[in-house]
Structures are given as C-alpha cells and as structure tokens.
Amino acid sequence: MSKAKSSESVKVVVRCRPMNDKEKASKFDRVVSVDVKLGQILVRNPREASELPKVFTFDSVYDSNSKQIDLYDETFRPLVDSVLLGFNGTIFAYGQTGTGKTYTMEGVRNDPERRGVIPNSFEHIFTHISRSQNQQYLVRASYLEIYQEEIRDLLSKDQSHRLELRERPDTGVYVKDLSSFVTKSAREIEHVMNVGNQNRSVGSTNMNEHSSRSHAIFVITVECSELGVDGENHIRVGKLNLVDLAGSERQTKTGAQGERLKEATKINLSLSALGNVISALVDGRSSHVPYRDSKLTRLLQDSLGGNARTVMVANVGPASYNVEETLTTLRYANRAKNIKNKPHINEDPKDALLREFQEEIAKLKEQLEKRVGKKKRRRQRKRAGEGGDGEDGEDGETEEDDEEEAGDYWREQQEKLEREKKAVLEDHSLVAEEKERLLREKEKKMEDLRREREVGEMLAAKVKAMESKLLVGGKNIVDHTNEQQRMLEMRRQEIAEQKRREREMQQQVESRDEETLELKETYSSLQQEVDIKTKKLKKLFSKLQAVKAEIQDTQEAHIKERQDHEQNQNELTRDLKLKHLIIENFIPLEEKNKILNRAFYDDEDESWKMKPITRIEDDHQMMSRPPSAVGYRRPLSHHAQIAMKIKPDMRYKAENILLLDMDLPARTTKEYQEPVIAPKVAAALEDALRDEDEIQVDASGFHGSLGPTPPASASGSIKKPKSGRPRTSKKSSTPTSPFSPCSPGSPIYPQSRGLVPK
Ligand code: ADP
Ligand code: MG
C-alpha cells in the first residue's frame, strides 16, 4: 500500500431534491435543471426568461430521481473504502434547510431503499470486516452536536454538560471527554445512532428549527491490525466524519439586540467561518487560514486542506422562490472544489485503541497462564507425593482439556479439605481448643481456594469480553449468497466508475471543443470562414456575457455580505457603547478595577474568564470584611434584628441557630401553699394589716364606756401569727406582732395600729 502524500481535491457533488407537495400546489416554476451526463447544474433566472441559464460544473450531480444507493456507490463507497484502508474521510452535507441534507445523510430509517449514507456505511464497514482475512478490527462510534458554539456529546448520559476542544501536537484537535462506543455489528452502531438522535431532539422544543441551526457530526473510527511483511503487527486507523451541517440560509436577526443578536451571530459563526476557511484555502495568496474562528472548522481542520479525503454534498431545491439560496449554495460548492487535501494512511498512530486492547489481552492471558501453571505444578507435586507416576501428558493438552482439568483440580482440592476437616472433627485425641484452631485453619484454606478460583474465572471472563470486541472476518467467506452479493457490488462499482469516466471525458471534450475547433478547420471560401467565425464569435460573446453576469452576481453577493457584516458590527458597537456607559456611570471605579484585575484570557478556551475570589491576606482586591469569614459575625439587617426580637424565628438567625437554654433538672420542691384560714380570722387579719389612715376611729364612743366590746373594726385584736414569713404586702409596712393590739382595760388610743413600740 502506498503512503503517497500526493494532494487531491475535495470532491463536490450536487443533489437537487424533487419538488415537494407544497411547491407543487403553489405551482412554483422549476428553475434548476440537472445534466447528469455532463455533471452540470443549470439555473434559470425566474424573472428574466431571455437570460441564459447559469451553468455550474461539478464532480457529479444528482437529480430528483437519484437513488440513495446510486449516490452511495458512485460517491461515498470509494471514500468509505479508503477509510477502511486507514485514511481519514469526511462527508459534509451543505445547503439550505429543507433541501435534503438529513435525507442524504440519514435518510428514512426503516426503508432500506431510502437509507442515507450513514446507515449504508454501517452495512458497508461491517460487511467488509466479515469478509476480511487475517485482520483484526475495532470499530467505535461517537456522536456530537455543535449548537451556538457549544459542543454537546449526544451519547452521554448528562446532556447538560458541554465539552471542550483540546489540541495535542501529535494527534491534533480533539474533543475532550467525548464518549465513544465500541460496536460489533451494524445493528449495534445503528442503535448508537438512534440514541444520539433521540438526545438531539430531547433538548429542543422545535426539532426542525434546532436541526437547522446546529451541526451534527457522527464519527466512526475503524482500527485494523494486520501482520506486516516484517512479521510485526501493524495498525491502521481510519476516521470517518459524517457531518450534517446547519442550514446555510442566513439566520434572521432583524431587530435582534443583546442576547438575541449574540445568538443569531453565534449560529452563523461556524458556517461563515467554514466559508472563510474555504476562501482562504482556495485563494492561494492568504497564508493564514482562520481555522480557529469556530468550533466546527477547528474540529474539521484535517478535512479541509489537511490529512483527509473529503466529499461535499451540496443540496439544493428546484423551485423558483429559492433561487437566491440555490445560487449561493452552488457558488459556495464551486469554490470548495478547489481545496487541495493531502490524505495519507494513518499507520501505527500512538493513540490506537486496538493496540491498547491487544496489549491488555496479552497481559491478562499471561496472568491466567501463570495461575494455571502454578496449579499444574502443585498438582504434579501432589501426585508425586502420593506415589503416582506423575505422568500427565501435559504437552498434548488442548484448551478445553485445560478447563476440564482446572475444574477437576478445584473439586479435588475442595474434597481434600473437606476430608481433612472431617478427620479433625472425629479425632478425639485433640484438645477442644486445638481442634477449633485446626478447623478454623481449614475453613480459611477453603475460603482462599474459593477466592482464588473466582479471580481466575474473572480473569478469563475479562479476556473473553475484550476479545469479543475485536472483530475478525473470514467466517462466512464460502457463503454462496455472500459471494453473489459481492459480485453484484463489484459490478455496481464498475458501472459507477464507468459513469464517472464518461462524465469526465464529456467535460474534457466540451472544454477542448472551443480551443481546437478553430485550428483544425480549413475553409473552402471566405464567406464560409466569415460564417463560422461569426458563429464562433456569437458563442464566445454569450460566454463572455455569462461570465460578466457571474461577476456582477458575485459582486452583488459580496456587497450584500459586506452590508450584513457592517450592520452586525454597528449593532455590536452600539451594544458595546451601552455597556460602556453603564459601567462608567453606575459602577464604582473601585469595583470596576477589581473586576478588571480578576479578568484573564483563557488561551485554551479562547474566551475571557474570571479568577475566583480567594482570601489571601494581602490581596488588595479583597473586601476588607467578607460577610461570612471565620471570626466575624454575620451582618444582620435591621429588619431581621427587629423580627428576631418579636419572634424567635430561625429564619432571621444568622448565627447561634441552636437554642442553647439550660436544661433544668426535675423539680424536687413544691410551690408554697398558704394554709387555709377561717374567714373570721382572715377578716381580723385583714383589719390588722390595714394602713393606719384607712382606720376610722370614733374616739367618742370610748370615753363613756370602758371595756366594752371593741368595735368590729378593731376586732382583729386577737391575733395569731400567720407564718414566719413576712407578708410583703405594701399595706403592712410594719411588722405584725403576736400581741394583741390593745389590752382590755387600757385606754384605747389609736396612735398606732401595730403593737410594736415606736
Ligand atoms: P434538511 O435536512 O436539509 O433540512 P431534509 O433532509 O429534512 O432537509 O429534507 C426535507 C424534506 O424533503 C424531507 O421530508 C425529505 O424526505 C425530503 N427530501 C429531501 N431530499 C429528497 C430526495 N432526494 N428525494 C425525496 N425526498 C427528499
Ligand atoms: Mg436536517
């Protein structure tokens, strides 16, 4: 196999879809005609019937009747074949929304006739593998989507996660943490695709709109290992990128501002970057190719001017109302024809997974081998000890024998341990303790034995699982139907090749016609010469007109694009000015500087980022008193302070959230209870305790009569102490005394209520 580094052009094919029902119902004119034989697309101007149609020539073109399988055999099969040889390959579907990109890439899932290139390539790859001989294959698949410059892994469980692009000098640009699934059959890889497609639609409310704004990339990596002439295993790795691009129509952003504008700009970004990359590549003068302007171009850098074979399918619609977009698409595709790639076979790359697998399997097998070896030796020893002849015939053993013997070995060991255990149990000469110890020992041995066996089985299972992932062909090679199918495919391929050659020859004839005609011609008369030259002139004139019109069109398109860019720039400038104004007028200078100090440019990510706030002692950008640093109280709002006082609500507690009131022990005393006092006594006491000025005394009544019964008001004279505890009532500011207030016979003189001498 040659590792030729010769350059080859990107292959561009155009496919025109049939009129859809809506277009038919509205009776739109068909302005696109397809010349399959010549590989030309002719576009008529719907407004100017007299104008000559615009002609575009491509590697091949497909009309509305084209079959999926024809496209595959003629255009895609050779590419997938080279991927199987170890080249990188890429298929782009480009075009306006609704022109058949997804139809070409995926097609109608359950209809074998209308399956697109992705499912057809699955079939192709796995059939190829099943027919191969003395080769080992590993096939894996990944599926990702780029939407608004964010990469989503369509096969990962967490669909909210966004992936990053990384670059390594040896392997180039790759998506970090992108999941990939090893697949063993067309059915399995189809399942992977379906899972991805489901995830694609999950995130979007309107699938059509979403798919017209996002790029989907399905990646199949085929690794093949083969014994080379040098006796070493060589690995070739081919990677196939299947890209369903976003709709090429301009995303409307009329009146969009701020976030909306940014969104529209971002959606356009990858596609316009793709256009710029193509322009820069075919320009020949520009030394800088702006791959780094978008995620898409960075990821597919190899496919555009690098190490890959690339096919671009430009999809167009036939109806008159789409004519502008159709022409834009055709011009875009026309430019892409001139990109030169330098594909080569990727032999023995460092990151081949197949190599890792092979090494891992070899390692596991070696481990397994060692275990088996150990066992055998042990057994031999044992047999020798038993007095057997030790003859095993080991050399002639097959793998199955090995397995069987391994089983025997385990059983024997187990039985032996059981026997020993029993012997210990029955041995009455042993002390109980000793017996127990021995038994434990035996149990442990049995446990070890079991574990060892499990490890061995696990190793074997692992080897089996890993080996099953590596595919080898050559099983059905004698299958009759298979053989027939292969012949059929070969024929189809031959036909496709023939068609291609025919077309190329036609195109060449066409271009030479004009140059050589003149030279060969000999004229019989002057008049004839004039006639022929006039005809020729006319032809050339019309050609000149066509070229002039084309120049005009291109200029117009250019102007439109420029205006678009200008408008975009104006809007962004206005946005920027507004933000500046806000910053200057509303954000304190100090804060602004802090943010400026924290901002830094991340080269990996190509975006501005903020350093996290860290508490470093002499970092001046820090606030002097962070709200929740250790050792400080949290600040409380006034409202919270009040609210906490009114109601001890947790909500307003910033600290001391635990209520740490003392837990009182159970009470051992009782509340004092006053003794019950007879009402009479109580009244007397009441009287006695009354304030002096409250006592009304009528002294006149005492003069005439001595020793009469004191008036009721003084009836508290006979007093009994209530208790040892003084009454704290205000009324009794003077302590009561056990003596009667007035002794009978003595002159009653209400000087003092109490009997305590003053
Ligand atoms: P895109 O992915 O470019 O937005 P689709 O692939 O979804 O467009 O195609 C839009 C519609 O046109 C679909 O219903 C599809 O079945 C139909 N269609 C596209 N191309 C063809 C074709 N070559 N033959 C028949 N139907 C087609
Ligand atoms: Mg689509």
Give CA–CA dist 591/602, Å, rounded.
22
* Number of residues that this document lists for the chain: 758
Query: Of 281, 297, 292, whose CA–CA distance to 340 is shortest?
Result: 281
Does the predicted model carry a pTM greater than 0.75?
no
Between CA 442 and CA 448 the distance in angstroms is 10
**Cα 252 to ligand 2 centroid, rounded to whole Å:** 18
**Cα–Cα distance measured from residue 428 to residue 450, given in angstroms and rounded to the nearest whole number:** 29
The answer to whether 329 and 316 are in contact (CB under 8 A) is yes
SS3 at position 628: coil
**Cβ(63) – ligand 1 distance below 6 Å:** no
In the chain the first and final C-alpha atoms are separated, in Å, by 136
Cβ–Cβ under 8 Å, residues 238 and 87: yes
Beta carbon of 103 within 6 Å of any ligand 1 atom: yes
Distance 207 CA to ligand 2 centre (A): 9
Ligand 1, atom 17, residue with closest C-alpha? 100
Phi, psi torsion values for 147, nearest 5 degrees:
-135, 125
Amino acid in position 65: N
Q: Evaluate: CB of 215 within 6 angstroms of ligand 1.
A: no
Q: What is the pLDDT of residue 215?
A: 92
**218, 143 Cβ separation under 8 angstroms:** yes
CA of residue 111 to ligand 2 center, whole Å: 18
How many CB atoms sit inside 10 A of residue 481's CB? 8
What is d(CA 84, CA 454) in angstroms, rounded to the nearest whole number?
40
Q: Is 100 in the pocket of ligand 1 (CB under 6 A)?
A: yes
CA of 21 to the centre of ligand 2 (A): 18
| pLDDT averaged per 10 residues, the chain (length 758) | 66 93 89 89 86 87 91 92 93 92 91 92 91 88 91 89 85 88 92 91 69 90 88 89 89 61 73 87 82 90 90 94 90 90 86 81 83 64 51 44 62 81 76 80 85 84 82 61 77 84 82 64 79 86 85 86 86 91 91 89 80 63 54 72 76 68 82 84 84 60 46 43 44 43 48 49
Ligand nearest to the CA of 17: 1
For ligand 1, atom 5, name the residue with the nearest CA: 100
Cα distance between residue 147 and residue 247, in whole Å = 12
- Other CB atoms within a 10 A radius of the CB of residue 682 amount to 13
Distance (Å, rounded) from C-alpha 603 to C-alpha 269? 19
Provide the pLDDT for residue 2. 43
pLDDT of residue 316: 94
Q: Is 97 in the pocket of ligand 1 (CB under 6 A)?
A: yes
Which residues, 6+ apart, have CB-to-CB distance to 417 below 8 Å? 442, 445, 446, 449
Q: What is the pLDDT, as a whole number, of residue 724?
A: 43
List the beta bridge partners of residue 8.
Answer: 341
With tokens 């409380």, the residue in question is 636
For residue 205, what pLDDT is reported?
Answer: 62
Residue (of 756, 757, 673, 758) closest to 719 by Cα position: 756
Which parts of 231-352 fold into alpha helices (H)?
A: 258-283, 295-299, 323-336
> Which atom of ligand 1 lies at the shortest distance from residue 16's CA?
23
Nearest Cα neighbor of 362 from 457, 466, 453 is 466
> Mind spelling out the 3-state secondary structure of 127-187?
HHHHHCCCEEEEEEEEEEEEECCEEEECCCCCCCCCECEEEECCCEEEECCCCCEEECCHH
Ligand 1 nearest atom to the CA of residue 62, by list position: 23
**Distance of CA 97 from the midpoint of ligand 1 (Å):** 9
Instruction: Report the pLDDT value the prediction gives residue 654, as an integer from 0 to 100.
Output: 64
Q: Give residue 97 CA to ligand 2 midpoint distance, Å.
A: 7
Q: Is beta strand 89-95 parallel, antiparallel or unpaired with respect to 309-316?
A: parallel
Nearest-ligand number for the alpha carbon of 211: 2
Do 217 and 93 contact (CB within 8 A), yes or no? no
How far apart are the CA of 64 and the centre of ligand 1, in A? 11
Question: Whole-angstrom Cα distance, residue 494 to residue 77?
Answer: 12
Query: Tokens standing for 91?
Result: 């298929």
Residue of 76, 34, 406 lying closest to 241 (CA atoms): 76
- For residues 601-640, one letter each, b for 16 or more C-beta atoms within 10 angstroms of the residue's C-beta and e for the rest, the string is eeeeeeeeeeeeeeeeeeeeeeeeeeeeeeeeeeeeeeeb
Q: Which atom of ligand 1 is nearest to the CA of 108?
A: 16
205 neighbors 221 (Cβ within 8 angstroms): no
Ligand nearest to the CA of 200: 2
CA distance 541 to 539: 5
Closest CA to 41 of 52, 50, 49, 32: 32
| Cβ–ligand 1 contact at 297 (below 6 Å) | no
Cβ of 95 closer than 6 Å to ligand 1, yes or no, is yes
Q: What does each C-alpha distance from 6 to 167, 303, 532 come to in angstroms?
A: 26, 15, 43
pLDDT value of position 546: 83
Does the Cβ of 107 fall within 6 Å of ligand 1? no
